Amino acid sequence: MTEVLSQDEIDQLLTAISSGDIDAADDTTSTQQDTRKIKIYDFKRPDKFSKEQIRTVSIMHETFARLTTTSLSANLRSLVQVHVASVDQLTYEEFVRSIPNPTTLAVINMDPLKGSAILEIDPAITFSIIDRLFGGQGEGTKVTRDLTDIETTVMEGIIVRILGNMREAWSQVIDLRPRLGQIETNPQFAQIVPPTEMVVLVTLETKVGEVEGMMNFCIPYLTIEPIISKLSAQYWYSSVRRGTTTENLQILRERLSAIEVDVVAEIGNMQLTVRDVLSLRSGDVVRLPNVRISDPMALKIGNKPKFMCKPGRNGNKLAVQITKKLEDIDQEEFEELAAEAEEVE
């Protein structure tokens, strides 16, 4: 219950404050209890993406970063590390002001989505990649300059490889077919949207050898708006589960069925010295110990025995007839089975 002060008590309190015996800032307990947290909202740049959508974009590009790490490491024959540093939403003008000039700006056509996106690669990373591809150690340059025609052509090849990784990373949301439009070095020449338009900016920390820098992927809201509803955790994880349907498994089986594998019928084996092997000539006969023509042979797929068979002919060609299918057994069980078959014979 609030206590009511008398006039004398009020006068004494004012006197104490005037003399400095009591600090007026000390009595802030009730004021702090009533203070509410206020979030500043700028109506000139409203948030277009929810936290869940930002999180989904981050997950997509973590996959993109892993794929890019692998492909660039193989292409440059050097250790490359790429990972997502942040995903933010800001205006296009703020993005342009945050990147150096000159830099490497790849304008990406985001088919089947409308509009374009921008992949910006830090100059240190760009010149490190170029130096590595030209036979150097992958050292970056401190000189700020535009790319030559040859260097631009080299970077086009690298960016096309990167876009293949982007297509795979986005496959759970849309069948994206990104295409390289052109490469610019001045941000002012890459005005893909109005300066006040909101964009989502994916910042990727990149390290090529000992050189560190950033790659930025800028996607305008107008471009990503048609699929904004798919950028949710529920849709993302349901898409992942759909990846193991019976239809997709059938497609995998059909693709695997066209792969060629080595099939070898093993008649028997024996040990020879290196001298004997080197002395072998066309027409020589090698007698296999304890092996008869009627004994079953192992038919191997790769290096693994899968069938038992008997030798024969099909027209003018040598052939084998499969007599038994072997389950997944280890080598010891296979040798025991072969020994039992030999005893039966």
Render pLDDT for 84-108 as a digit per residue (tens, 0 to 9).
Answer: 999 988 888 889 888 888 888 999 9
In this structure, the answer to whether residues 232 and 123 fall within a common structural domain is yes
In this structure, the answer to whether residues 187 and 104 fall within a common structural domain is yes
The answer to whether position 43 is within a domain reads no
The answer to whether position 32 is within a domain reads no
- pLDDT bucket at 202, cuts 50 / 70 / 90: very high
With 0-12 / 13-18 / 19 or more C-beta atoms within 10 angstroms meaning exposed / middle / buried, residue 202 is buried
pLDDT for residue 344: 45
CATH of the domain at 223: 3.40.1550.10
Residue 15 has pLDDT above 90, yes or no: no
CA distance 309 to 295: 9
pLDDT for residue 339: 55
- What's the mean pLDDT when you consider all of the chain? 80
Give the helix/strand (H/E) hosting 224. helix 221-224
Q: What b/e sequence results for 286-297 when a residue is b if at least 16 CB atoms lie within 10 Å of its CB, and e otherwise? A: eeeeeeeeebbb
In this structure, the answer to whether residues 83 and 206 fall within a common structural domain is yes
In this structure, the answer to whether residues 209 and 306 fall within a common structural domain is no
In this structure, the answer to whether residues 157 and 197 fall within a common structural domain is yes
pLDDT for residue 292: 77
Which structure tokens are listed for 208?
A: 């090529």
302: containing domain: 259-269+290-339
CA distance 14 to 257: 94
The answer to whether position 254 is within a domain reads no
CA–chain centroid gap for 66, Å, is: 3
The answer to whether position 8 is within a domain reads no
**Predicted confidence (pLDDT) per residue in 256-273, tens digit:** 777 777 888 888 788 888
Residue 18 has pLDDT above 60, yes or no: yes
CA distance 123 to 101: 9
Q: Report the pLDDT averaged over residues 116-131.
A: 91
The answer to whether position 275 is within a domain reads no
CA dihedral of residues 95, 96, 97, 101 (deg, nearest 10): 130
Number of domains in the chain: 2
Residue 81 backbone dihedrals phi, psi, to 5 degrees: -125, 130
Q: Report the pLDDT averaged over residues 208-225.
A: 89
The answer to whether position 10 is within a domain reads no
